[in-house]
């Protein structure tokens, strides 16, 4: 039977799972590489006019390059491919899936959901529930948490959680706008984060632990909100506008307060791996310092993939799984615009 704390931690939503496992996690990356030098070359006149030294993206964010979908590629098709690979690796047939949750920020239209296209592409049965979940860069972890709850309750046997991001349009729009002579230094820096975005897709299969002893147990975790900061990072396909300094401080305060309160019920000080949401070198270094993490146990992908939104955690986990061994403790953790934070423990 599932176990839930009768008295949740003050300010935290706490969840524990007794019989849910991660069966597979996969990623599909675009083939087109866009370097930070490429982007800054297109912005050279603006950088010169604003007296900003070249190498800003490398120096400030630590982002050397990111991926963009090439001709003939798309986030939807790549997400379907990631999903098919995840099903194959998990040994689960599409006909057995009872739930699909799409967690993408990227969407081509307001309706229908992105999930319906992916449901069709994956050949899932008509009985498979499908919908989108939006929670900024925490979307994938939120989707995993919801899927795990439905498995734990007995509603479904298998769930697939997917994400596909396409940063092309927002990057093109941002570069065009920042190239305008009327843009000032403050305006430029408020949109700086848009230039660090990258594209990619990921998928994960969740199922019952008692049916899959080879799986990776999802132990549970905590979430915490600081929604007074909902205006610090606001984005659309037109652009993403961020108060970077306030966002970093608010995010760190949120993570530290959640971490401290969770420490009475969870011991996360010596995990074997911390899979964090990938933003930048500044963000990663700040999280490592604030939570006193072992830097060698915090793998990073932002330098070559940029910030791939909700896909960054599963992409990083997918790449890291080859180095994980049975029994390793893994913590997924991140902060999403809004602000929200989430931490989820896995027993590999």
Residue positions annotated with a catalytic role: 111, 137
Residue that is written with structure tokens 């305008």 in the block = 180
Cα–Cα distance measured from residue 193 to residue 179, given in angstroms and rounded to the nearest whole number: 16
Alpha helices, DSSP H only, in the chain? 36-42, 44-49, 56, 75-90, 114-122, 139-152, 168-178, 185-190, 244-262, 281-290, 302-305, 312-320
Q: What is the DSSP string of 244-278?
A: HHHHHHHHHHHHHHHHHHHTTT---TT-SEEEE--
Residue that is written with structure tokens 């439905």 in the block = 150
Q: Is 287 within 8 Å of 255 (Cβ atoms)?
A: yes
> Which of 87, 85, 77, 68 lies closest to 27 in space, CA to CA?
85
Q: Is 193 within 8 Å of 24 (Cβ atoms)?
A: no
Q: What is the DSSP string of 283-298?
A: HHHHHHHHTT--GGG-
Report the relative pairing of strands 97-102 and 129-132 from DSSP bridges: parallel
CB count within 10 Å of CB 267 equals 11
Check residue 347 and give left, alpha or beta (phi > 0: left; psi -120 to 50: alpha).
beta
> Which of 92, 157, 106 lies closest to 129 in space, CA to CA?
157
Cα–Cα distance measured from residue 105 to residue 79, given in angstroms and rounded to the nearest whole number: 13
Contacts of 222 (CB under 8 A, 6+ apart): 9, 12, 13, 14, 15, 258, 261, 262, 266, 342, 343
């Amino acid at each position: 039977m599932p176990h839930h704390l009768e008295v949740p931690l003050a300010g935290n939503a706490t969840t524990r799972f007794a019989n849910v496992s991660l069966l597979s996690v996969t990623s599909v990356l675009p083939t087109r590489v866009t370097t930070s030098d490429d982007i800054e070359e297109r912005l050279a006149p603006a950088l010169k006019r604003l007296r900003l030294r070249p190498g800003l993206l490398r120096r400030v964010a630590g982002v050397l390059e990111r991926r963009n979908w090439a001709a003939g590629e798309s986030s939807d098709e790549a997400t379907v491919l990631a999903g098919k690979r995840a099903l194959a690796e998990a040994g689960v047939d599409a006909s057995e899936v009872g739930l699909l949750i799409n967690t993408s920020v990227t969407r081509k239209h307001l309706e229908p959901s992105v999930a319906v296209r992916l449901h069709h592409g994956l050949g899932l049965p008509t009985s498979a529930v499908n919908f989108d979940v939006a929670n900024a860069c925490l979307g994938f972890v939120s989707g995993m948490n919801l899927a795990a709850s439905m498995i734990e309750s007995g509603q479904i046997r298998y769930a697939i959680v997917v994400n596909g991001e396409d940063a092309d349009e927002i990057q093109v729009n941002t570069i065009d706008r920042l190239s305008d002579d009327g843009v000032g230094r403050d305006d430029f820096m408020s949109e700086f984060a848009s230039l660090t975005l990258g594209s990619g897709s990921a998928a994960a299969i969740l199922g019952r632990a008692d049916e899959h002893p080879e799986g990776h147990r999802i132990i549970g975790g905590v979430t915490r909100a600081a929604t007074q900061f909902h205006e610090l990072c606001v984005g659309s396909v037109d652009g993403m506008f961020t108060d970077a300094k306030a966002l970093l401080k608010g995010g760190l305060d949120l993570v530290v307060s959640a971490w401290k309160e969770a420490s009475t019920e969870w011991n996360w000080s010596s995990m074997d791996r911390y899979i964090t949401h990938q933003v930048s070198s500044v963000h990663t270094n700040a999280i490592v310092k604030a939570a006193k993490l072992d830097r060698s146990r915090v793998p990073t992908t932002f330098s070559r993939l940029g910030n791939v939104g909700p896909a960054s955690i599963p992409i990083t986990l997918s790449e890291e799984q080859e180095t994980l061994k049975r029994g390793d403790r893994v913590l997924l953790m991140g902060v999403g615009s809004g602000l929200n934070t989430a931490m989820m423990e896995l027993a590999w």
